[in-house]
Chain A
Amino acid sequence: EVQLVESGGGLVQPGGSLRLSCAASGFTFSSYVMRWVRQAAGKGLELVSGISASGTYTYYADSVKGRFTISRDNSKNTLYLQMNSLRDEDTAVYYCAKVGGSGNYDVPDYWGQGTLVTVSS
């Protein structure tokens, strides 16, 4: 059974930093693209960042480029999101998601339960 368990969320002041982790199990982690998607309270979904299976290629939304860094440790089956220079508008639930495959199936097919990040003074 595929399991994705996020951790590391919490309350942080504007300008602060936080590191999210996502522990994966139930599939061959090193074979799949992974992504972080966030959702502000009562709002829709936003793709924040993605990383290729090997970690060579990364993607960032314009809203977080230069502030967030995605990485992965395939030996530990863990995905990370380092968030620096946090802003009020980064407040959201952050989900990690496994991508199903390529082409037609290049979509998140499994999601974690999310971790809440609150940026406030």
Chain B
Amino acid sequence: EIVLTQSPGTLSLSPGERATLSCRASQGVGNSYLAWYQQKPGQAPRLLIYGASGRATGIPDRFSGSGSGTDFTLTISRLEPEDFAVYYCQQYANFPRTFGQGTKVEVK
């Protein structure tokens, strides 16, 4: 099973700042089959990024993903008020599909 470790656990930033979230895998994620989701309280997760760097439909270009192998990054170039949420990474190279424990981006 591929274990995904996200860091930091909480990121305290102000609107307009840049957010950099990390997702590290316990073994290589083949084909960069790594996705990122955003989840707000009381809501379902929303797909942001697939294939490590592909933006899902309707996702603003301030969200970008990068990385390969075991190290992946989600970057939000300029935080908007609606971006404060919890972010999860997920690998889909192997079964079981696994998720990271999440990074909370909160208002500083």
Contacts and interface: CB of A to CB of B under 8 A. Distances in A.
Are A and B associated in one complex?
yes
Interface of A: 37, 44-47, 59, 61-62, 95, 100, 103-114
16 contacts: A37-B45, A45-B37, A45-B90, A47-B98, A62-B96, A95-B45, A100-B47, A104-B31, A104-B33, A106-B92, A107-B50, A107-B90, A108-B47, A109-B47, A109-B50, A110-B47
5 A-B pairs with least C-beta separation:
A111-B44, A104-B51, A45-B99, A47-B97, A107-B35
B71 to A, nearest CB: 19
Contacts of B45: 37, 45, 95, 108, 111
Contacts of B14: none
A32 to B, nearest CB: 14
Contacts of B57: 109
Q: Which secondary structure dominates where chain B touches chain A? A: loop
Contacts of A113: 43-44
Contacts of B46: 111
A105 B33 CA distance: 8
A66 to B, nearest CB: 16
Interface string B40-78: 000111110011001011000000000000000000000
Given A106-B33, A107-B47, A113-B44, A46 B54 contact: no
Contact of A44 (B44, B47, B92, B102): B102
Contacts of A105: 50-51
A4 to B, nearest CB: 9
A47 B57 CA distance: 22
Given A44-B102, A106-B33, A95 B44 contact: yes
B89 to A, nearest CB: 10
B100 A44 contact: yes
Contacts of B47: 100, 107-110
